Amino acid sequence: MPETGTPRGRRRTAPTKGDQREQAILDAAEKQLDAIGFDRMTIETITKAVGITRGAFYFYFASKNAVLAALVARTVATLRTEIEAADASGEPALALRRSIDQTRDMWRDHGNVMRAAVELSPTVEAVGESWHSAVAAIRDITRGIGRRAGLADDHGPTGAHAITTALVWMTERAFYQASKAGSSLDDTAATLTHLWLNALRLDGG
């Protein structure tokens, strides 16, 4: 008899229909964040855009807030991956420049999600958890860059932990303000790069 189904021991790699529908919900929500904003976006507007029933929506997500939390989680996971890849060069100044460039690109491509994460993280617990975990992960990566640049690896006020934590939050706020105001993200990235290089004593890098 010919074999049918997936060969034993081989895992399916193609996304399931359920996976595709879940991603379609997230994609629709991201578009609506940009087009109509979080307040006007509803479960009804999302289901209409995807072409599913309200009941089908609840199979994947419990609420509109849950959709946003998942969307933020997807976005920050991509950002963390990009920053980790940027850090792979090992050379501190180059790794830093690439990290800021990748962060700028994420704000350019997904600014609506990133702004929503900043604005709603204080009140929507799941969003706050995703966003703060991303900030912590990026801080840990940049702390490694700081150590390689010669910062003391301690928790004092001028050690790698304190300096990179402050700089990461500064970077978040600067890109948020630029994105919200429609200012140049390239100029913001250039300013942030200058500040990071000086703070990590890499201004000649």
pLDDT digits 0-9 by tens, 136-184 = 989 999 999 999 999 898 888 989 999 999 999 999 999 999 999 999 9
User: How many CA atoms lie less than 13 Å away from 201 in the CB half-sphere?
Assistant: 11
79 and 46 assigned to the same domain? no
Domain of 37, in residue numbers: 15-61
54 and 74 assigned to the same domain? no
Q: For residue 148, give the CATH number of its domain.
A: 1.10.357.10
Name the token pair of 126: 């799941």
Q: State residue 65's pLDDT score.
A: 93
Average pLDDT, whole number, for the chain? 89
Residue 103 parent element (H or E): helix 92-120
pLDDT band at 7 (very low <50, low <70, confident <90, very high): very low
Query: Comparing 82 with 3, which gets the higher pLDDT?
Result: 82
Does residue 153 belong to any structural domain of this protein? yes
Does residue 95 belong to any structural domain of this protein? yes
167 and 125 assigned to the same domain? yes
| DSSP string covering 17-56 | HHHHHHHHHHHHHHHHHHHT-TTT--HHHHHHHHT--HHH
> Averaged over 40-49, what is the pLDDT?
97
105 and 57 assigned to the same domain? no
Chain centre to alpha carbon of residue 202: 26
Does residue 3 belong to any structural domain of this protein? no
Query: Comparing 171 with 11, which gets the higher pLDDT?
Result: 171
Does residue 4 belong to any structural domain of this protein? no
| DSSP structural state of residue 203 | T
> Averaged over 48-70, what is the pLDDT?
95
pLDDT band at 11 (very low <50, low <70, confident <90, very high): low
Q: State residue 6's pLDDT score.
A: 45
75 and 89 assigned to the same domain? yes
Give how many domains the chain has, as a whole number: 2
> Averaged over 27-36, what is the pLDDT?
95
HEC letters along 130-185: HHHHHHHHHHHHHHHHHHHCCCCCCCCCCCHHHHHHHHHHHHHHHHHHHHHHCCCH
76 and 54 assigned to the same domain? no
Indicate whether 1 pLDDT > 50.
no
Does residue 8 belong to any structural domain of this protein? no
